[in-house]
């Protein structure tokens, strides 16, 4: 391959959220030099990963679990400060302390097989030829917008939870919140005191976790997500199998009726939502707290997807290409899981760079000429009228 204008490097880390920084830490700790042996590329404008985009009223004391990055504790955090500020500041200090030299903002547009054992990483700031890629792009750039009959005729406002900036913009409005995850509950609890009315709808009845959630429960939840990934199916979030935590605020909201859930409606009308049994609810705003999908479109040229729609994984390694590791994906899509995945990915990549990949983890070797595989069945997020998800690959975690 002609490498004119292309920078050769051992490892490219895409994303500088929890997973990307953990991987970069372990690369540096094992003797790899930032900007010489590996490079960290981040699409976001500032440190903090997806946390920097959280709504200002999500204070640190409301955060649903935050595990410290390896090698540096998060101490003396003011629980009343916005989580975006607390965690953004922590990530910035972490990057400085370990000299990780994150490049931002940089958009990774494509990762391709270079044909000579390397991966061609194309970005908004040039091209790299890497021996391995650690993908830590998370999900923030791919909010999932569900589609319903009549959606385009709704006369009110439709937004995704990723666009939520606080309760004041909903004052006096009739709001329908769609979704059964943590963000739906957090945002509904903020909106209810100022809205004219709120309605909560979910596809399945929500499950509230009242007992302790220890190590055994955590391992069981992760195992459920990991099994889907091993089968090549799109991953469910870890939170989706753990249930919603029963905090005092949640208990009170259930008692007051704020969290009285209705089943998912059948269609959207110009003035609200309706069910086939004749029920209807008027609405000024539809807020979709319907989650996110993995931001991996930039990996499409490698044809990593299985017929089931997901990327089949063996540990952190993509089975169809052992040079590609996904951290913060599937079972590692939690702050503690991301830390462990970063360490595991670096351990395997060191073997790969030394020419001794782990024989217990299946996957074609780059030299075999088998990188690629069956067709890429990317699942695209669907946006309501007037919006569309980014076609860029992003590098937030």
**Ranges 78-92, 202-216, 281-295: which has the least confidence:** 202-216
Rounded distance, CA 331 to CA 73, Å? 23
Label residue 358 by pLDDT band (50, 70, 90).
low
Return the pLDDT at 339: 86
pLDDT band at 244; cut points 50, 70, 90: confident
Tell me the pLDDT band of 229, cut-offs 50, 70 and 90.
Answer: confident
pLDDT of residue 397: 41
* pTM reported for the whole predicted model: 0.83
Which pLDDT score, from 0 to 100, does residue 66 have?
Answer: 77
Region 148-163: mean pLDDT is 98
Quick one: average pLDDT of 205-225? 71
Better pLDDT: 366 or 14: 14
Q: Alpha-carbon distance 121 to 14, whole Å?
A: 10
Average pLDDT over residues 280-286: 98
Q: Which of the four pLDDT bands, split at 50, 70 and 90, describes residue 373?
A: very low
Where does the pLDDT of residue 239 fall: very low under 50, low under 70, confident under 90, or very high at 90 and above?
low
- Per the CB < 8 A criterion, the answer to whether 293 and 310 are in contact is no
Please give the average per-residue pLDDT across 100-118, as a whole number.
97
pLDDT confidence band for 332 (50 / 70 / 90): confident
Condensed to tens digits (0 to 9), the pLDDT of residues 267-280 reads: 999 999 999 999 99
pLDDT surpasses 70 at 385: no
Contact between residue 191 and residue 284 where contact means Cβ atoms under 8 Å apart = no
Structure-token match 């953004």, residue found: 88
Tokens coding 95:
């990057």
Count of beta carbons in the 10 Å neighbourhood of residue 363: 22
Contact 296, 135 (CB under 8 A): yes
Non-local CB neighbours of 265 within 8 Å, separated by 6+ positions: 148, 201, 273, 274, 275, 281
> With bands split at pLDDT 50, 70 and 90, how would you rate the model's confidence at 376?
very low
Q: Is residue 130 within 8 Å of 12, Cβ to Cβ?
A: yes
Q: What are phi and psi of 376, to 5 degrees?
A: -95, 115
């Amino acid at each position: 391959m002609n490498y004119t204008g292309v920078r050769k490097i051992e490892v490219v880390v895409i994303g500088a959220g929890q997973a990307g920084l953990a991987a970069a830490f372990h690369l540096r700790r094992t003797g790899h030099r930032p900007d010489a042996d590996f490079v960290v590329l981040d699409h976001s404008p500032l440190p903090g990963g997806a946390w920097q985009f959280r709504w200002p009223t999500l204070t640190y004391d409301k955060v649903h679990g935050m595990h410290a990055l390896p090698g540096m504790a998060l101490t003396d955090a003011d629980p009343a400060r916005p989580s975006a500020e607390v965690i953004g500041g922590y990530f910035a200090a972490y990057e400085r302390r370990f000299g990780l030299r994150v490049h931002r903002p940089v958009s990774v547009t494509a990762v391709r097989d270079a044909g000579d054992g390397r991966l061609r990483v194309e970005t908004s700031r040039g091209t790299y030829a890497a021996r391995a890629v650690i993908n830590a792009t998370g999900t923030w750039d791919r909010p999932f917008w569900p589609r319903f009959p009549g959606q385009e005729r709704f006369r009110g406002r439709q937004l995704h939870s990723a666009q939520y900036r606080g309760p004041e913009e909903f004052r006096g409005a009739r709001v329908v919140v769609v979704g059964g995850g943590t963000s739906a509950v957090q945002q509904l609890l903020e909106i209810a005191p100022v809205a004219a009315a709120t309605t909560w709808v979910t596809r399945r009845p929500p499950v509230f976790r009242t007992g302790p959630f220890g190590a055994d429960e955590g391992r069981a939840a992760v195992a459920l997500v990991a099994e889907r990934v091993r089968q090549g199916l799109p991953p469910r979030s870890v939170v989706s199998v753990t249930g919603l935590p029963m905090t005092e605020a949640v208990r009170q909201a259930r008692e007051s009726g704020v969290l009285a859930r209705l089943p998912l409606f059948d269609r959207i009308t110009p003035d609200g939502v309706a069910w086939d049994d004749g029920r209807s609810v008027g609405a000024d705003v539809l807020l979709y707290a319907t989650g996110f999908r993995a931001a991996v479109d930039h990996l499409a040229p490698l044809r990593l997807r299985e017929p089931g729609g997901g990327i089949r994984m063996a540990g952190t390694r993509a089975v169809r290409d052992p040079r590609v590791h996904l951290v913060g994906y599937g079972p590692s899509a939690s702050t503690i899981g991301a830390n462990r995945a970063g360490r595991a990915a670096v351990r395997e990549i060191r073997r790969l760079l030394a020419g001794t990949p782990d024989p217990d983890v299946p996957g074609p070797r780059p030299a075999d000429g088998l990188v690629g595989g069956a067709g890429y069945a990317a699942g695209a997020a669907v946006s309501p009228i007037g919006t569309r998800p980014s076609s860029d690959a992003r590098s937030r975690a």
